[in-house]
Amino acid sequence: MTAGMNRVLITGAAGGIGKSLRRLLPGTYPELRLSDRVVPNDLAAGENFVRADLGSLAEVEGICAGVDGIIHLGGRSVEDSWEEIHPANIVGTYNLFEAARRQGVKRVVFASTNHVVGFYRRTQRIDNEVQPRPDGRYGVSKAYGEALGALYADKYGLRVMCVRIGNYGDKPLDKRRLSMWLSPRDFVQLVRIGLEHPAIHYDIVYGSSDCERAWWDNGHAERLGYRPQDKAEDHRDEALAETARNPEGPVSALFIGGAFCEMEFAGDPERIR
């Protein structure tokens, strides 16, 4: 690993993952700058928070000034209407990468999602090089963010790592999540690889802990040094019991994206291979 990360910006600092990183990252880098469009309700004394709306390029440039690396968590993180997704995840993600370029930021860790590949069947094992198969407007917006990251890496020299986050939390909550759970401390490890590893140019990895039932091959993350510490199967009984109480729908159960695939579904699942 190589450092050079003196000031790191976290966008979306008021969200669930942002709050978690705020507890885990202090001391890792000399300075953390936190940003969101709303002030976190648990902002602690001494935390460096700067409000910004991702929809404003000028405001995003302001929070990127003097920053070495960015952990981009900001934007809409669930399926929604295009009117909600577009300004937050399309315009906002463009503004983030463009502001990073203008301000000479070295690296961006982009929080992508498993929903970029949500319409792959669970019977098929996929890697980080498969074609996107998004399961909704949210997944489309994150596929766009990945493509934008590739452009800024290849054309402008920004180092970018996209993390297709499975399901982030303290434990997997059901059977589906046993295949894609990501613990907070394992996510920190991935973030540090993205910000510090000397070989990063443009890379896509999956954000999951040690998941015995995983539907994807995370070998690329392992080649970059990722060694997950937490095991999904440690929570197996509780997770399986939850799915027994609340079974998945017929479409959800077929695909990686789960319920996101079933929302508004009007196609023929047999034609999705």
CB atoms within 10 A of CB 42: 10
Instruction: For tokens 């503004």, name the residue.
Output: 95
Q: Which of 11, 5, 109 is nearest to 54 (CA)?
A: 11
Distance CA 201, CA 193 (A): 12
Per the CB < 8 A criterion, the answer to whether 217 and 125 are in contact is yes
Q: Left (φ > 0), alpha (ψ -120 to 50) or beta: where does 25 sit?
A: alpha
Question: Which residues are identified as catalytic?
Answer: 138
Instruction: Phi first, then psi: give them for residue 215, nearest 5 degrees.
Output: -95, -5
Interior CA angle at 206 toward 205 and 211, to 5°? Answer: 140
